[in-house]
Structure 1
């Protein structure tokens, strides 16, 4: 039998009995004034009816021992259960919230937290998710504030004014919208709840008034008893009432139930049937509690135990005097086992939290250790930055710490990261000063190039232009925002000068015209070239064609487009041979380098080397950016389309990087 079926069995036990067998009181306080035993005079075989007042000095009211044990021993678990049940009195969502999985919100990214909040709003009752939303909101604020602090420091270090700083993200906007929806729905729920609570209170006060009227009614006792049962059922089915009215309403209700029982003691048969019924149901409750005492799921067992205590206290009346101490002792013993296991469970959680605290403190110490450096290079600092990023991620994934040190631990972590960032930013501020100095030097070289680009004194100016090109390479980095701009200015000035030289040198000679005609004929023949079936032989033949093309010689400057046509023809032949893309690219690139190397001026080969190096830096930067982006995909499966796309891009960029490195190595071999 499942746990749910067992609970249903407790709630529906003895359903086939008549109304007389279904007497259910709603709180153990009923039992303080339970029915008094009738006494029989054996001498005349008549029954004496003893009033409650007369019997009070002779007999202990039913279930007083149960209540007195709780008071005398100040049983912590009973108090905990009753306080929890009272707190939930007006909350219809308290059962639902126990069914919602409590996730490790402190390990989630900002995006994951926003998604989790949206899921809760979509799938769960608004009154059941309060504690979950509070945890999510706390973590989101902590992580967002940390991110904003970092962005703010970067903004200021880049020369921005603090008053102008502003940062926003799609995730922040998405979360705000979800949280606003939560607050709106929660307010609507409480407004509706308040209205229902007031109506339920009015209904219950009316029931109490009707209970008062049952005493001393001059009608058949069975009719009165049936009316009493109907009032009890109405009380149970009436919804929750305001929490601040809860105790007063219950006490008043219990008092008048007790008064009715005092009145009912005149009919022993009805009372004995109630005793029997209550005993049967309490034994079922005890059996279920004893089963729960063996359940490994401690929190689930404790939650159901709360319900059992609620049933015992609020739904069942007293039992016969001869049973009361025994059954309460059994129920209390099972309760103690479950409570002890619950406290042990929390102790184990505390140990886990303490271990997490040790881990986080070690991470903070590791970050602080990374902040101790002198005379570091840009590359060295970049390694430390990656280490700090990894430590930050480990900190967020380390789990919860004891709540009493949570804020202090977070503050210490933030300060360690902030100190590292301050020193890092100070380093780059110094680096930027040096870069600004380099910028001024390169601007001076640009001015020299611009002043001389139109000169016709080639013998004097050519060595000067080559010298400033060499000086440019020796000057270090400039600010990134200026790098491309000044390079294009410098390159344009230098190219303008050297293009004029080449234009003069490349005035079409008869020899170059003849070379053009030969290459035209060569190109036509190449289109009809038959390739051997063997791949190696085919590649050898293609390389031979390339060598013969180069041997033909240079063509006029305005006819150089024919080299592009030749490259396309070579591409077509390589495709027919099914040559790997990388190998084909290197074959063509060797041809290009041979052409550059054959020129009189080495600047073309130098420019090509500079270009390849620049491309390598660009591709490395793109790979780093993509790998950093992957760190934001927490709790996302590898088969996610977006994640797969990032991995594919990284793979393609790495293939491109390998090809560029091979090209650079080939260039170096020519020097």
Structure 2
């Protein structure tokens, strides 16, 4: 009978707790990317500035008096081209636009319109920080799009919306494809498949609003720029007409001053028209100055005022060279250039020198800015190489043959370590960043698919094991109150052994079903223990009787000269011993004491070895017989048969060795010793064969007694009925 502690140890291994932690949802996209919010580098964006070299120096006006306060108040404020104001104004006009799935899959192709103040800048993408949208969940992507739409200028968020739309649709399309595959595996037909994604619908509305605002913004901008162009062309015509009018110099100059003020206030024009427009304007301004031939004192006064203004701009520009924040300094330089364009001309002898100084500042800051972004590009390239190395490390993990929870846990930790290192690098401003991220994500996706499939199969196996263990629990409940001690004990031990071999079950059921099974087994074995205790009390008298027989055997002094009489006396003691029956289990040592004492008595009379061994062996078998239970006899027979096999091998080896003595002297001591050992081994085998025969007879006797008792039990049960 096995102890309950042993049974608990067999199934008490709680690896199930660890395994169940790793049985995850099998969604192919559950890569845990929402935790991978990368820290991208903050970079400024500015536009390339225009220089005096863009405007012919010969066209620089020689005199530009300030307009009066009255004239200023009457001038048009057409130059304040505020993007937010444009958007606010356009919102009044736009209607809700419904975006189809086909349109949602395409980038917004609204034609962009640029003014002469929007210069080309290769670093413009650094202006608004671009996070690694590939690592965002669908919810985070939608929230980011909504936030950008509400808080950022519509003309600055196209790259962000393109990245958000691309990554969101990729995840949603993969999710829909996965659901379609599940639908088809379940026997569905593709034309009947319908899968509603609230996230897609929500983004559809946001994207529709974004596209509508963007289209309205550029439509309004185009209208304003064209209107400004029309106004400025008209102002040029007015300057051309001034020289043809017959009026006083004061009135002519006043009219010219109003035209200049209105030019400044009108604002930007289309970039494509800007160059010709400025050249034409300055050409006619110079013509005006030549026409009116303004006096030298007044012109010198204007030149001095303009020179002081430009000197101030040069000083401010030189200060920008000392700033550590290069993008911010470059943005400030842009404003200085806009002011420079507004300031009028200086003396011809100072004009080139001042421009060269200002242009040199611009060049130095340009060079400094290029070094800044070159350094950033170099760093980005280095980070990209590091990311590529991590991708290769991920590729090198061979998880195709992993078939145990322990090995999967090792792989999961390794992958998580690589993923965390990749995440910490954040998004890098490099053309290949998205490509390397997609590659990294696909490898992670494949890894998670394999891992989830393993744990999905493991979970199924756990449920199969659960059903097997439930069946054993049912058997245990049926047997726990049985009084058929022999058969029930054997069956209980059998299902306990089977329980050990089944394996793990789901964590939620593990403790519960184990406790139920253990309780049923303990119930039976507690009853069996009590039964054995009651039976052992009945055997106390047998122990007392056997103790008296042992004392009798110990006191007997066999007569070596009358061997037959001594053997008969010993046999009588043996028969007396057999008649007594079993003793309590904790006092079975008396059996060994009796056999040892018996061996000593047989040796004292120098009895035939075979005969004494046979008698002692038969007596031993009696002690092995437990009622109708022949299990101990069968185990003994198996042990004897094993001894025969070993003895036979030894005999074969001895006979092989004997062949080496074929030509030796028959009187050789070595040859005699070899023959003696062979004879001994043959006698040993013969004796063991005899033991097997005795065991066979004893086992048949026990089985026959068991068969004879069965009908009597049936009659007894029938009588009770």
Where in structure 2 are there 5+ consecutive unaligned residues? 1-50, 64-112, 528-721
Structure 1 SS opposite 2:116: helix
Query: Based on CA coordinates, which of the two structures has the bigger radius of gyration?
Result: 2
Which residue is 2:55 aligned to? 29
8 A contact 2:317–2:336 mirrored in 1: yes
1:309 to 306, 326, 337: 337
Which residue in 2 is equivalent to 1:389?
A: 416
Alignment partners' CA distance in 2, 1:249 and 1:221: 27
Per-residue deviation, 1:491: 8.8
Structural RMSD (CA): 5.1
Contact 2:240 2:284 in 1 (8 A): yes
Aligned partner (choices 160, 163, 176) of residue 135 of structure 1: 160
Give the Å deviation of 1:376: 4.8
Is contact 1:146-1:414 (8 Å) kept?
no
Judge conservation of contact 1:208–1:256 (CA < 8 Å) in 2: yes
Q: Relative to 1, partners in 2 of residues 1:400 and 1:496: Cα closer, same or farther, differing over 3 Å? A: closer
Change (3 A) 1:216 1:349: same
Distance 2:176 2:492 in 1: 43
The equivalent of 1:366 in structure 2 is: 393
Matches within 5 A, 1:289-300: 289-300=317-328
Aligned counterpart, 2:358 = 331
Give matches, 1:432-581, under 5 Å.
Answer: 438=465, 441-442=468-469, 445=472, 452=478, 464=491, 467-468=494-495, 471-477=498-504
Retained in 2: the 8 A contact 1:106–1:399? no
- In 2, Cα distance between the equivalents of 1:146 and 1:493? 47
Q: In 2, Cα distance between the equivalents of 1:414 and 1:122?
A: 30
Alignment of 1:35-114 (within 5 A): 87=114, 89=116, 102=129, 104-105=131-132, 109-110=136-137
Find the aligned partners of 2:221 and 2:351 in 1 and give their Cα distance. Answer: 39
- With over 3 angstroms needed to count, the CA separation of the structure-2 counterparts of 1:167 and 1:458, relative to structure 1, is farther
Describe the superposition over 1:167-200 as per-residue Cα deviations: whole angstroms up to 9, x where unpaired: 9687x77766655544444344334434433433
CA-to-aligned-CA distance 1:131-159 (integer Å, 9 cap, x gap): 6xx23652674488469759977997999
| C-alpha spacing 1:236/1:453, structure 2 compared with 1 (3 Å) | farther
Q: Secondary structure at the match of 1:200?
A: helix
Provide the rounded CA distance (Å) in 2 between the counterparts of 1:246 and 1:349.
33
Which of 194, 208, 227 is residue 199 of structure 1 equivalent to? 227
1:351 is aligned to 2:378: yes
Maintained 8 Å contact 2:114/2:271: yes
Query: How has the CA–CA distance of structure 1 residues 410 and 278 changed in structure 2, closer, same or farther, with 3 Å as cutoff?
Result: same
Pick 1 or 2: higher relative contact order, CA cutoff 8 A, min separation 6: 2
Distance in 2 between residues matched to 1:36 and 1:194, nearest whole Å: 33
Tell me the SS of whatever aligns to 2:246: coil
Shift of 1:349: 0.4
Number of aligned residue pairs: give it. 421
Deviates more, 1:430-439 or 1:416-425: 430-439
Q: Give the Cα separation in 1 of the matches to 2:526 and 2:169.
A: 59
TM-score where L is the length of structure 1:
0.51
Mapped partners of 2:216, 2:154: distance in 1: 10
Q: 1:252-280: CA deviations, max 9, x gaps? A: 43443343234244654554444333322
- 1:360 offset after TM fit, Å? 0.9
**1:213 is paired with a residue of what secondary structure?**
helix
Q: Return the alpha-carbon distance in structure 1 between the equivalents of residues 240 and 52 of structure 2.
A: 16
Q: 1:405 aligns to what? A: 432
Distance in structure 1 (CA, Å) of the matches to 2:484 and 2:419: 60
* 1:215–1:260 Cα contact (<8 Å) kept: yes
| Mapped partners of 1:151, 1:486: distance in 2 | 36
What is the TM-score with the length of structure 2 in the denominator?
A: 0.48
Distance 1:329 1:136, change over 3 A: same
Q: Render the CA deviation track for 1:13-32: whole Å, top value 9, x for unaligned.
A: xxxxxxxxxxxx99963633
- The Cα of 1:295 is off from its aligned counterpart by 1.6
Change (3 A) 1:247 1:302: same
